[in-house]
């Protein structure tokens, strides 16, 4: 099929909405990453999303809403903690897992009794949901396994010819997928870290626990609280290692290796002899989050065998950056 390029203006937004109402699939910008949107009420539309991405069949989708009225069709219960989180963080990069409403197609949640829902903080996304008049299920608009798309060009390089349209908008300001928290477990559980941090969530959910899969590889037979955590993710073709070390140790380690490149902090670039890509300043985790997926896509153009990535600290937004990097590295961590 030919993938239409739509503008992010009124005409583009209504064209996108028409395609979505007719069970088509459209890549749309959000503040986190581009999403591949489809009607959350249509099994037909959802099956097209899984086919285009090559997504594992047991990995459920996030439903996106534009206003609180839509919520009653998506979830069957909205407890007071959820309300408090929504008041503070919506529209924004926080997804909540709650009991699923009946109208949502079973194929969205892949048979689970829960549904993941968020209200994105992006004008174009909100206008498309409103114009379509239906909640939109949308995973990240990349091929399964590759880094999530933070520009329309990333979407095109993965999905051109496989989807009905892409809304050509700017690059995503957050750069990492939303924080996912389950309120369907007791205690509530952080399933995927993101721009909304564990520390911020604990102000409303003091008994929040961080799921084991956030920082560790699940062993065979272990059940994932969030199926998406099980899969190989964000992987360049080049072999990636995550390196936990102080700046000096990291620099001398990389300088002792051959046929490699480094993804490092901007302060370290001048001291490394191999080619480098800068993740951003060491203390600026938000900027690292914005840069991360573009850098992972760039790795394969460096023509080296191995990329060593200097690991950020695991607090604040750093936990989310670390979580994506350890997956990109296939859990290969070198501790110096
Ligand atoms: O920022 C984002 O969340 C982006 C944009 C497009 O909104 N979307 C996104 O979707 O990252 P995706 O499909 O790449 O990731 C969805 C994650 C997966 O890890 C999935 O397993 C989890 O959410 N998830 C979805 N429904 C769930 C449920 N009912 N229970 C537990 N985890 C769920
Ligand atoms: Mg994804």
Nearest C-alpha to atom 24 of ligand 1 is from which residue? Answer: 60
| Structure tokens given for 231 | 């899969």
Q: Looking at the CA of residue 64, tell me the nearest atom of ligand 1.
A: 7
Give the tens place of pLDDT for each residue, 282-323.
Answer: 999 999 999 999 999 999 899 999 999 999 999 999 999 999
Q: Which residues surround ligand 2, an ion (CB under 5 A)?
A: 140
| Structure tokens given for 211 | 């799921």
Test site for ligand 1: of 90, 125, 227, most ligand atoms within 8 A of the Cβ: 227
Q: Looking at the CA of residue 35, tell me the nearest atom of ligand 1.
A: 6
Q: State how far the Cα of 130 lies from the Cα of 122, in Å rounded to an integer.
A: 12
Domains 4-214 and 239-335 share a fold: no
CATH architecture classification, 239-335? 3-Layer(aba) Sandwich (3.40)
Average pLDDT, the chain: 96
Strands of the sheet containing 333-335, edge to edge, are: 276-280, 260-265, 306-310, 239-244, 333-335
Q: How confident is the model at residue 97, as a pLDDT?
A: 98
Give the tens place of pLDDT for each residue, 228-253.
Answer: 777 767 888 899 999 999 999 999 99
Test site for ligand 1: of 27, 60, 169, most ligand atoms within 8 A of the Cβ: 60
Rounded to the nearest angstrom, the distance between the alpha carbon of 38 and the centre of ligand 1 is: 14
Tokens 């459920």: give the residue. 60
Domain ranges of the chain: 4-214, 239-335
- Which residue, 88, 86, 109, is CA-closest to 99? 109
Q: Looking at the CA of residue 34, tell me the nearest atom of ligand 1.
A: 6
Strands of the sheet containing 62-64, edge to edge, are: 4-7, 165-168, 26-28, 35-39, 136-137, 62-64, 114-118, 94-99, 179-182, 189-192, 209-210
Q: Which CATH number fits domain 4-214: 3.40.50.410, 3.90.870.10, 3.40.50.150, 3.40.50.2000?
A: 3.90.870.10
Q: State how far the Cα of 324 lies from the Cα of 293, in Å rounded to an integer.
A: 9
Test site for ligand 1: of 228, 231, 324, most ligand atoms within 8 A of the Cβ: 228
How far is the CA of 3 from the CAs of 15, 138, 157, 225, in angstroms?
13, 17, 12, 35
Average pLDDT of the residues in 7-19: 98
Sorting pLDDT into bands at 50, 70 and 90, what band is 224? confident
Average pLDDT of the residues in 104-133: 98
Q: What angle do CA 197, 202, 203 make, to 5 degrees?
A: 105
What residues does 137 pair with on adjacent strands?
38, 63
């Amino acid at each position: 099929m030919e993938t239409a390029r739509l503008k992010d203006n009124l005409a583009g937004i209504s064209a996108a909405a028409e395609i979505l109402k007719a069970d088509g699939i459209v890549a749309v910008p959000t503040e986190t990453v581009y999403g591949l949107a489809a009607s959350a009420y249509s099994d037909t539309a959802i099956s097209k999303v899984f086919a285009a991405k090559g997504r594992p069949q047991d990995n459920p989708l996030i439903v996106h809403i534009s206003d609180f009225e839509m919520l009653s069709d998506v979830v069957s219960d909205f407890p007071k903690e959820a309300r408090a989180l929504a008041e503070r963080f919506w529209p924004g990069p926080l997804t909540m897992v709650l009991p699923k409403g009946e109208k949502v197609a079973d194929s969205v949640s892949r048979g689970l009794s829960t549904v993941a829902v968020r209200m994105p903080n992006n004008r174009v996304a909100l206008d498309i949901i409103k114009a379509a008049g239906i909640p939109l299920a949308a995973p990240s608009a990349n091929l399964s396994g590759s880094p999530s798309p933070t520009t329309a060009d990333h979407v095109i390089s993965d999905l051109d010819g496989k989807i009905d349209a892409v809304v050509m908008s700017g690059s995503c300001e957050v750069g990492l997928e939303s924080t996912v928290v389950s309120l369907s477990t007791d205690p509530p559980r952080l399933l995927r870290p993101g721009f909304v941090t564990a520390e911020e969530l604990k102000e409303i959910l003091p008994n929040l626990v961080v799921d084991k899969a956030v920082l560790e590889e699940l062993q065979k037979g272990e059940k994932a609280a969030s199926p998406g955590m099980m899969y190989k993710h964000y992987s360049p073709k080049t072999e990636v290692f995550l390196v936990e070390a102080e700046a000096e140790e990291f620099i001398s380690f990389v300088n002792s290796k051959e046929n490699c490149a480094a993804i490092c902090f901007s302060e370290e670039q001048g001291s490394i002899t191999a080619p480098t890509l800068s993740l951003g300043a060491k203390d600026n985790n938000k900027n690292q989050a914005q840069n991360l997926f573009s850098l992972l896509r760039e790795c394969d153009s460096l023509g080296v065998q191995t990329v060593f990535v200097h690991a950020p600290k695991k607090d604040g937004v750093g936990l989310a950056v670390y979580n994506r990097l350890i997956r990109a590295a296939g859990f290969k961590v070198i501790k110096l």
